[in-house]
Amino acid sequence: MTTRGNGRTTGHRVAVIGAGYVGLPTAATLARFGHSVVLAERDLAKLETLRRGLSPIVEQDLDELIAGGVASGNLSFTESAVEAVKGARFVFLCVPTPQSSDGSADLSFVEAAAKEVAAHLATGAIVVNKSTVPVGSATFVEQVIGRSDVSVVSNPEFLREGSAVLDSLNPDRIVVGSDDTQAAAKVGELFATTAAPLIVTDATTSETIKYASNAFLATKLSFVNALAGLCEEVGADARDVLLGLGYDKRIGFEFLRPGPGWGGSCLPKDTSALLHIAKEAGYDFSLLAGAIASNDEQLARVIGKVEQMCGGSVTGVTLGVWGLTFKANTDDRRESPSLQITGRLTELGATVQAFDPTVDAEAEPREDLRGLQLRADPYEAAAGARALVVLTEWDEFRWLDFSRVLALMAEPCIVDARNLLDPSAVRRMGFRYTGLGRQ
Ligand code: UDX
């Protein structure tokens, strides 16, 4: 492994395959770094939006970054992956790796993309696995491509949705792994204008770093959520307990907020995948299995709080819900704890009136929102409700007119699964309030 700091970069021809949550910020960032980037996306509606210099996903500052890339001439788009890779020195695979039924990562999109472009890659091109892929995938992609002049490098992304632009312009670290060390180092040089430390390692280690990072974050959150539960039992204030923890620099304040459980497109999928990898390798990773089980318990704990607030049962009860995305500042609802909780509440016989700033209540109901009564604003969601459940930490919820909310609700009850509101302020107004780990 070698580590290196700053360096200089000259523009390279780069292809990025897939304009999703990873490919889009990656392409726009590489264009900003001075590379000439062609982004391939099959979805024609998405492509049209991109060509207008707009982002097809809700992501802070991404519109500006895309528009800047287009205006500079460094960023262009095509429907064809084959077209994108023509003459490219680097080809980033940023296609989805969804979870298979056995918990492992499904590599079919990676395989299909590699197969499609294999014969069209420039001599000496470097293919970069940016998607989160199982340990050993670099070798798999090498075999699919089947060309001795082409190297495959693992370069995992660590982008958080909602701050993907910030994260990709100012990464904490760049990890590149390959059995061809020179190729790995060349991929690292693409990011040389950042101040991030570069870790050059082998492909297996690089792939493991990605899973290890997300599994560690998930474990940290499971610990935090369980701790909040313990605080309730012993009468401690989780907020102060976590403050006391966070000031220890070895622990830090990041990822220390209790919530309804961790979700999103990465943490659940990657923890399951790592558990699967461990099992295949004959390694008993019971700690990680415990973190996953603890996350399910957290969902149940929140549902229990709602039931308790409604006198023991939600059957036949109308509930108001604020927030459907898996966290704030994104429109992503994949593996959203909010949807898992609202789904179970509906199964238990509740009528759920939900509002989320990124969900258009008038639009065609989408499959994942089936069973929910979508409302156009947070007040409508609260109207007539026996209890209000805050499930996503959208900042705008803090600044609503709570006297109006109070007047609209059937009962003045709030379950705040994000500890977003000020308990004493809402209690003073007459609400019954319960959060996580606070009295
Ligand atoms: C994550 C990783 O952070 C990122 O490095 C990786 O590349 C992709 O997966 P993301 O899925 O965007 O990013 O979400 P993240 O911000 O990590 O949040 C994950 C989940 O944890 C969300 O459900 C969020 O609400 C929850 N969370 C996060 C908490 O409940 N409390 C916290 O303090 C932080």
The pLDDT of residue 10:
61
- Beta strand 413-416 with 432-434 is parallel
Domain boundary among 201, 216, 243: 201
Nearest atom in ligand 1 to the alpha carbon of residue 157 is 7
* Contact (Cβ atoms closer than 8 angstroms) between residue 218 and residue 261: no
pTM over 0.95: no
For 359-395, how does the pLDDT look when each residue is reduced to its tens digit (9 = 90+)? Answer: 999 887 789 999 999 999 999 999 999 999 999 999 9
**Residue 5 lies inside a defined structural domain of this protein:** no
Q: Hey, which of 154, 217, 420 would you mutate to test ligand 1's pocket, going by the most ligand atoms within 8 Å of its Cβ?
A: 217
Distance 16 CA to ligand 1 centre (A): 24
Evaluate: CB of 221 within 6 angstroms of ligand 1.
yes
**Which residues neighbour 312 within 8 Å (Cβ) at sequence distance 6 or greater?**
none
- Residues 117 and 139 grouped into a single domain: yes
The pLDDT of residue 105:
86
Q: Closest by alpha carbon to 396, among 374, 411, 412, 381?
A: 381
Dist. CA 247–CA 239, nearest whole Å: 12
Evaluate: CB of 159 within 6 angstroms of ligand 1.
yes
Domain span holding position 251: 207-439
**Residue 18 lies inside a defined structural domain of this protein:** yes
CATH code for position 316: 3.40.50.720
Q: Closest by alpha carbon to 319, among 282, 344, 294, 290?
A: 344
One-letter amino acid at 340 equals Q
Residue segments in the chain with a per-residue pLDDT below the cut of 50: 1-9
- Residues 290 and 396 grouped into a single domain: yes
**Residue 78 lies inside a defined structural domain of this protein:** yes
- Residues 139 and 278 grouped into a single domain: no
Q: Closest by alpha carbon to 140, among 203, 213, 208?
A: 203
Evaluate: CB of 21 within 6 angstroms of ligand 1.
no
Evaluate: CB of 95 within 6 angstroms of ligand 1.
no
* Contact (Cβ atoms closer than 8 angstroms) between residue 178 and residue 202: yes
The pLDDT of residue 203:
97
Q: How far is CA 275 from the centre of its chain?
A: 19
The pLDDT of residue 1:
37
- Residues 187 and 281 grouped into a single domain: no
Give me the active site residues, please: 266
The pLDDT of residue 296:
97
